[in-house]
Structure 1
């Protein structure tokens, strides 16, 4: 139980109903009398053993001296005690010598037991303590290779895998040789690393999933690494699932960042479309409370999908998606505007899809395109908007049929 003097030193207020009315200390074993008042068992037992037959707090005569455990209050006190435990007794960060010893023992034990979990947890406590500690581990000869080898050999222990991935994510920004990490993760002898990563994506915590997305983005440094990651369809599928609107916003952002990083090869674009990327992106873009960063990344992936015939087909057949893209081009950021306009330009102007053109018209897209031309957009975006106006100018149903697209003045309606 937390000591009162330590709580006082740390200015932690103890809830009044956690204190025994007799001793005024936090109750270890709360019990209630027939009057409904709760005391610590040892205090009220002494009161009763002394021959008293009244309730100390109310001075009511007790018709029964039975004491009943207050289990609900006991649980609340335990939860509160656990929450302040680390403030009262903060864990001591391991020294460099202790961490080096832990790493040696991890190497010898191969990590495949509870002892190994304790060792890697000690390493993570050390890394979490400071940037200097992270840099020390990143530059430690063989550390990254050891972490990957453990990731490659552990079967089914999600908790252990999470700790390994956490360790890698801690030192990520301090790693100078990204190529070496890429080779360790993607070209390991047993090639089980990505399978272990998929397991954590399926069953791990959000923090572990975010760590994975950061690691994969970090090693996606060339076409080879992008293709090697993209080959694992289960991995891509899980990242996409974790990007759906109901997930944690930070998790969505990191998963989308990872998908953007690996989406350049045509093979990967095709795979993303095949496993349903447009359905997820359409749902995201129709949400009203997503962050700017998420919108930008979602629109970048939509633009990527529009460079494939299959992706364009899905975009053009989803009028809700087209309307959502139009809705974001004016309200988010210059980056979002460019991605959104590029997609519309691709499907409506470059590939002349009739369904997409109709969806733009129904969503009041012509007015938005005109407003964009008058805005402080980039010359590239303005030119694409002018191209789009040419398409709608020749549409007999459009009020722009007599509009001269060579001018940059907005048409008076």
Structure 2
């Protein structure tokens, strides 16, 4: 019998109820030595590291254990005098030699579980021909992957695999479209599965994977996805996480959803997107990528485009205006234009809100930053908005100085 990465009929049924790969034809595939497997994940280690107890683990597995607040060795339960992870270079070389000998021969090692399959497909050192052979597995057919969303025990690995395949350059565009179509064919089940991952996944990497799958679904069928407002709650929660990658993934989804119409934007505002976006802008630059902050600006300008959004923004005008002004120059041109749009909509649209105008007048470096945007490569519309904002800033500043007893006809613009 040929040593193919293929599932038989019985094993195909099992895959829908088990996170393990359905039985593969591995009659010629020698299993890896037991000490190549991580004591936590029980899978072949990609980056073996040793604790002070002398036990070796895969780096990703032991790092999650330590990040969870554990202070003992999982295998021996000894207290750790140090949490330093020392690379086990000898074992890493042995694993690499073993892996190379199989990926370069006809007797290739077949992953024994879906999670191990995902790890091998995402391994940048793995041979491309070997990956293509793994991709031919029946377990990775679009219908088989979509079925993993139906059972709680396969949901997490299903989302991980779908996210991985949608991002792999080795997977052609047609197959990606088929995969998205399979997920959209039972949209209720797919959305329910993604929401379950957002709510219950132990690690942020799973929620990031869910957001990436969701982004692809929105890109393909935004109208249909807009009819599933349950997602908004989880996306707003996601952009509040400490992990910058999770924040970026959530904002990418929200950026696509704001174009679905007024009802979707109103739902976002109702779910608290305004304070969540402000939190993103207030965080340290090293924590959040500039592209994520730019997306936050884009979502904010769409949110304040409706009355409910402006009301929510102006309820905490001083803080929200300060956050927008503070990041205005630290993003790309599109983000700067969105920032001007936010300020114009709360300060000028329909006469503006008194609280927002007052907050804008005292925002640190506000006038100078508006001038910088005007002098840059902005659109004619944004330039007109900036001119309106300058008038508002000056008028509000003069009123404030007169009320305070000042008699000056000039405004000194402090460089940001």
Partner of 2:99: 92
Q: Deviations over 1:218-247 (max 9, x none)?
A: 23225xx22433433443212221211x52
Q: Report the alpha carbon displacement of residue 328 of structure 1 after superposing the two structures with TM.
A: 1.1
Partner of 1:65: none
Partner of 2:209: 211
Kindly report which structure 2 residues correspond to 1:197-346, keeping only aligned pairs within 5 A, or say none.
197-204=194-201, 205-222=203-220, 225-244=221-240, 246-266=241-261, 267-289=263-285, 290-319=288-317, 320-346=319-345
Give the direction of change, closer, same or farther, for the CA distance of 1:176–1:193 in structure 2 (3 Å limit): same
Alignment partners' CA distance in 2, 1:386 and 1:367: 11
Give the direction of change, closer, same or farther, for the CA distance of 1:142–1:121 in structure 2 (3 Å limit): closer
Alignment partners' CA distance in 1, 2:209 and 2:108: 22
Kindly report which structure 2 residues correspond to 1:101-140, keeping only aligned pairs within 5 A, or say none.
118-119=113-114, 121-122=116-117, 124-126=119-121, 128=123, 129=126
Taking structure 1 as the reference length, what is the TM-score of the superposition?
0.65
Q: Deviations over 1:314-372 (max 9, x none)?
A: 11221201111011112333232111111111221223222211110121465235532
Alignment partners' CA distance in 2, 1:306 and 1:217: 23
Q: Report the alpha carbon displacement of residue 181 of structure 1 after superposing the two structures with TM.
A: 3.3
Alignment partners' CA distance in 2, 1:334 and 1:370: 13
Give the direction of change, closer, same or farther, for the CA distance of 1:132–1:2 in structure 2 (3 Å limit): closer
Alignment partners' CA distance in 2, 1:264 and 1:226: 8
2:251–2:295 CA contact under 8 A, matched in 1 = yes
Q: Deviations over 1:39-97 (max 9, x none)?
A: xxxxxxxxxxxxxxxxxxxxxxxxxxxxxxx97489989x8798975554347388699
2:322–2:360 CA contact under 8 A, matched in 1 = yes
Alignment partners' CA distance in 2, 1:27 and 1:332: 46
Residue 170 (str. 1) matches residue 164 (str. 2): yes
Alignment partners' CA distance in 1, 2:155 and 2:217: 18
1:369–1:385 CA contact under 8 A, matched in 2 = no
Partner of 1:371: 371
Q: Please say which structure displays the higher CA radius of gyration.
A: 1
Alignment partners' CA distance in 2, 1:137 and 1:230: 35
- Secondary structure at 1:329's aligned position in 2? helix
Alignment partners' CA distance in 2, 1:135 and 1:2: 27
Of 353-362 and 230-239, more deviation after overlay is shown by 230-239
Give the direction of change, closer, same or farther, for the CA distance of 1:130–1:206 in structure 2 (3 Å limit): farther
Unaligned runs of 5+ in 2: 1-33, 37-47, 57-75
1:2–1:88 CA contact under 8 A, matched in 2 = no
Alignment partners' CA distance in 2, 1:238 and 1:412: 42
Alignment partners' CA distance in 1, 2:91 and 2:387: 64
2:149–2:158 CA contact under 8 A, matched in 1 = no
Alignment partners' CA distance in 1, 2:344 and 2:80: 64
Of 303-312 and 118-127, more deviation after overlay is shown by 118-127
Partner of 1:152: 149
2:281–2:296 CA contact under 8 A, matched in 1 = yes
- Secondary structure at 2:188's aligned position in 1? coil
Residue 362 (str. 1) matches residue 362 (str. 2): yes
Q: Report the alpha carbon displacement of residue 250 of structure 1 after superposing the two structures with TM.
A: 1.2
1:152–1:191 CA contact under 8 A, matched in 2 = no
Alpha-carbon RMSD: 4.4
Alignment partners' CA distance in 1, 2:259 and 2:190: 23
Q: Report the alpha carbon displacement of residue 273 of structure 1 after superposing the two structures with TM.
A: 0.9
Give the direction of change, closer, same or farther, for the CA distance of 1:327–1:138 in structure 2 (3 Å limit): same
Give the direction of change, closer, same or farther, for the CA distance of 1:182–1:97 in structure 2 (3 Å limit): farther
Q: Report the alpha carbon displacement of residue 386 of structure 1 after superposing the two structures with TM.
A: 1.0
Taking structure 2 as the reference length, what is the TM-score of the superposition?
0.65
